[in-house]
Amino acid sequence: MVFVGQITRTHGTRGELKVLPGEGSSGAWRDSQEVYLGAERRKASRFRVAAIRGGGKFAIMALEGVDSMEAAEALKGQRVFVPRDQLPEAEPGSFYAGDLEGLTVVTARGQVLGVLSEIFDNGAHEIYVVRDKGKEILLPVVDGVVVEVDLEAGRMVVEPPRGLPGLPQG
């Protein structure tokens, strides 16, 4: 499953949902026949798509069985996922967020920082949330930070900015 956006609010009175696409979303998910909604991809519920329209910053999505404002209201804040096989291959050097989450993150010197657990946009750039043994590092994704991504090995090599809070000493 690949995270493609988040439901921000209802749209109209017939159960439509306003979706803010995830950072870097190509929009290819808008052709999907089904979506999964939930706080986490592992616990998301399947919905058949009746229609998706709109361009620009938001998409308007109608789901089968969600036909009132009250039903749509219950879905506010849910994350939207689509099955990976419903999306085209990422372009060379590009990756879907769902492909990156779960990778082991190590420094260029080989120090393990943890597992990439979440990706979000802070308005200026993406942030990779790396967790290990109850600790969390918020890694800004700016030029020069991500050195290598090896999906087959399940690993991402990074060069964190100097003085980044949460980095292990040594």
The CATH number that domain 2-86 falls under is 2.40.30.60
In tens, the pLDDT along 38-91 reads: 988 788 999 999 999 986 688 999 999 999 999 999 999 999 999 888 888 877
In tens, the pLDDT along 144-167 reads: 899 999 999 999 999 998 888 888
> Is it true that domain 97-158 has CATH number 2.40.128.50?
no
Domain ranges of the chain: 2-86, 97-158
156, with CB counted inside 10 A (0-12, 13-18, 19+), is: buried
Q: What angle do CA 163, 167, 170 make, to 5 degrees?
A: 95
